[in-house]
A and B are shown apart, each in its own frame.
Chain A
Amino acid sequence: MSVKSLPKEEYWLPGHAACSGCPASLGLRMLGKALGGRFALVVPAGCTTVIQGTFPRTPSRVPILNIAFAASAAAASGLKAAFEVRNLDVPVVVWAGDGGTVDIGLQALSGAAERGEDILYICYDNEAYQNTGIQRSGATPIGAWTTTTPFGKRERRKEAPLIVAAHRVPYVATASVAYPLDFVEKVKKAASKRGFKYIHLHAPCPTGWRFPPSKTIEVGKAAVETGMWVLYEVENGLLKLTGRSTGLWDPAKRKPLEDYLKLQGRFAHLFKPENRWMLEELKKHVDENWSRIRATLERGGRLF
């Protein structure tokens, strides 16, 4: 797929309430193009609630069911069931943040995945509760500053895509707003499959990660090039690296992690001598992640 082959039609209208340089807004724009505007969105509490603005206007040209924080996967299950009984072949897509996915929404997500609901669940991961003022979430990486981890988060993030993959759903993928075409292709692929599909979209947030809004894409690319974020697919239990992450299991091919960290204010404290251990922990986490991926690939990619 090329940039030029992307549909010109916009389903996400300008002049909305997203912050300048917002990755969620870009993701929503690409989602609309990937599915040609014919789908229904379910949106729990989060940045996207606010981005939609206040009644009576919305930037979305696809219908949205707004729902409470923990409820999106269940509400989407119900919406899809209604479409089925009305014989409407309309995809239902959840668009939830990391808090609404890996923390408060995890139970409903797991339930819908286990039931094999025919929905596409997309988590746009800006690695904290950005909407409420940058509080740490279960997806905040170790070491990162947030307003509730003022000296850096001590714990590792949850691997939500792998948790979903453990439900043996037909399709799980990670993506990044810095690679929109890869994301669009994954959305299309997911939409072509029946059953529960999950895409975890890395969404560098200038507001919460403390970088200039012009660098959303640059930060997103650095995350992938340094191996901090990994692009992959899990189809029927088989893991495969995709796009820019292909081959990065070889540490020599990965850029130094500092290239990613130094772009962001939230990691600035890691470069103070007294916090050296936190930087080492973060590097260890990334290396271990890759060792596990490499081991998986060496046995043919079989995860489950």
Chain B
Amino acid sequence: MPRVVLSGNEAVAVGVKLSRVNVVAAYPITPQTTIVEKIADYVEQGELKARFINVESEHSAMAACIGAAAGGARCFTATSSQGLLYMGEMVYWAGGARLPIVMAVVNRALAPPWSIWCDHNDALSLRDAGWIQMWAESVQEVLDMMVLAYKVAENERVLLPVMVNLDGFLLSHAYEPVEVPTQETVDLFLPEKRPAPYWIDVVDPKSYGTIASPDTYMEFRFKLQAAMDEAARVIEEVDAEWSRMTGRSYGGLLELYKCEDAEVGLVVVGSWAGDAKEAIDRLREKGVRAGVIRLRVTRPFPSRSLASVAESMDAVAVVDRSLSPGLPSVLLSEVRNALYDNGKKPYVKGFIAGLGGRDVTPLDFEAAVESTLKAKEDGGSRVEWLGLKGGRDVC
């Protein structure tokens, strides 16, 4: 396999090319722009045989993808932050319509105040839209995840759109050497032929997305829920298949780092997992048996796998890069909910960190783990804001 240096955004574009996407519709927003610039270049050069629709908004970008997917094309869009929110209505539409669209979201904070830097609130705000949500840690994973996303989305047991999340700048603009799978490998993995129950067809005309009365609406929603449950299994299967073909496996829904004997777990999402792992190594040097649980997928939420990993741990620290004002922490709530039904429950403490691109270092993760262990003993605060200047005096 050829080894090249790519940025996260370039890896998305390469993934789109390798997946032989037919229709791309996108609108520029920082820090997503270099994805669509690269794809536009591929299309213009004839390296990717696709129609690039330069839409006038993100709402239209997703609307065009919905039209294209309903018409039988493999399609793609990418956005960030405000763009994702502006697109929001159509994001829900794609989920409800069960269309296997793949979208890269280059995670960026929401305004006001204006911020172009990373946090996860953009994607978190659309967690109920019926989209599978995947999160990459490295440029290599971004590339692989793009291809895997189509494979999962188009699986007949799934038929759901997939959001591939990559941290703005931290990953989108970070350059790493990457193994690029060959086109033959991807073609074998991701066949051009795909299920067509949703395709618009003049020979067998149907009306898509008509009104469902209270008599059927709930059943359609139940099917969506069931598809998510199925997606959890398919993601594991697809990861295993990719591993057989390329030698690279990411562990499906969760990536576990040094968790076998861990007494304390650190739950994270996204690119800062690298810093979290470094923190764990330092803690282990200090004699703390700690491990990282990286959620690669947050929808479907990996409740069962998470519960079974955390079962043997005494404490879990959850570091959340998003905020639901009025709720201590979104990720904390979801993790704690996953563990609640288990017989043996670890102590769980949440952290809000890195909002609007605030720098978070391995030292911060180390502190989070230590603070969690301390709180377990002396019962301190269950949620802490990491690196908040002036502490609560900020108010």
Contacts and interface: CB of A to CB of B under 8 A. Distances in A.
A37, A42, A68, A79: which has the most chain B beta carbons within 10 Å? Answer: A79
Interface residues of B, number: 42
Interface in B96-131: none
B299 interface: no
A8 interface: no
Contact of A78 (B23, B205, B206): B23
Given A74-B64, A79-B68, A115-B54, A65 B210 contact: no
Interface stretch (B211-219, B351-359, B384-392): B211-219
Interface stretch (A48-56, A190-198, A222-230): A48-56
A78 B202 contact: no
Contact of A82 (B54, B67, B207): B67
B73 interface: yes
Contacts of B323: none
Nearest to A64: B207
A104 to B, nearest CB: 10
Interface in B53-94: 53-57, 59-61, 63-73, 75, 89-90, 93
A297 interface: no
B207 A115 contact: no
A172 interface: no
Nearest to B204: A63
A223 to B, nearest CB: 31
A22 B207 CA distance: 20
B23 A85 contact: yes
B73 A66 contact: no
B23 A66 contact: no
Contact of B93 (A38, A67, A78, A84): A67
B248 interface: no
Interface centre among B59, B66, B67, B200 (most CB of A within 10 A): B67
B41 interface: no
Contact of B67 (A37, A75, A90): A75
A60 B205 CA distance: 8
B371 interface: no
B201 interface: yes
Nearest to B220: A55
Interface in B348-373: none
Interface stretch (A105-113, A239-247, A266-274): A105-113
Given A61-B205, A65-B200, A74 B67 contact: yes
Nearest to B51: A81
B211 A115 contact: no
A80 B211 CA distance: 24
Contact of B56 (A37, A79, A90, A114): A114
Interface in B22-38: 22-23, 25
A78 B53 contact: yes
Contact of A67 (B51, B54, B66, B72): B66
Given A82-B71, A111-B60, A38 B202 contact: yes
A62 interface: yes
Interface of B: 22-23, 25, 49-51, 53-57, 59-61, 63-73, 75, 89-90, 93, 200-202, 205-213, 216
30 contacts: A49-B211, A50-B211, A52-B207, A53-B211, A55-B212, A55-B216, A60-B207, A63-B202, A63-B207, A64-B206, A65-B70, A68-B63, A70-B89, A71-B63, A71-B90, A74-B55, A74-B67, A75-B70, A77-B25, A77-B55, A78-B23, A79-B71, A81-B51, A82-B23, A82-B68, A83-B71, A85-B49, A90-B202, A108-B59, A111-B56
Cβ-closest 7 pairs across A and B: A82-B71, A78-B67, A111-B56, A74-B60, A78-B64, A71-B63, A78-B68
